[in-house]
Amino acid sequence: MKNITQIKSLGDIRSATSHHITGMPSLKGTAYLDLYLLDREKQRLETELSRMELRKKRIETRLGEIRNDMEDLNKTALKEHSLLSPTHKPVPGCRELSARQRGHRQWSKLAVEY
């Protein structure tokens, strides 16, 4: 399923304005106006591009931070898992807890006839 950033929007549609198609023939003396309009559009697109580059840098920085945090948490989880795993050696002077002392109960068995 697409999210909102993957859906095409009005900016993706090529229109008559973006192609500079008009029903009127071009008038004399409008070259400067066309140059001005194209210059304004160029400036707008350049500023939009610079904003996108800054946003990309911020996203990449945050992704790097997340990767580092995930690595640290993964190392911590592995250490905790190795401490809790049954293959660890008991500390001298400590006795092993029984299942009842650890909070586990033995199941009582009952024979059922059908």
Q: What is the pLDDT of residue 89?
A: 58
Length of the chain: 114
In the structure, what pLDDT confidence band is assigned to residue 114 with cuts at 50, 70 and 90? confident
110 pLDDT higher than 90: no
> Rounded to whole angstroms, how far apart are CA atoms 70 and 64?
10
Buried b (16+ CB within 10 A) or exposed e, 57-71: eeeeeeeeeeeeeee
Q: What is the pLDDT of residues 15-26, one digit of tens each?
A: 555 566 666 677
What average pLDDT does the segment 106-114 reach? 75
CB-based contact 74:80 (threshold 8 Å): no
Residue type, 82: S
51 pLDDT higher than 70: yes
pTM: 0.50
- Cα angle at 48 between 15 and 21, to 5 degrees? 20
> Rounded to whole angstroms, how far apart are CA atoms 89 and 85?
10
List the domain boundaries for the chain. Answer: 27-81
Looking at every residue in the chain, the average pLDDT score rounds to 77
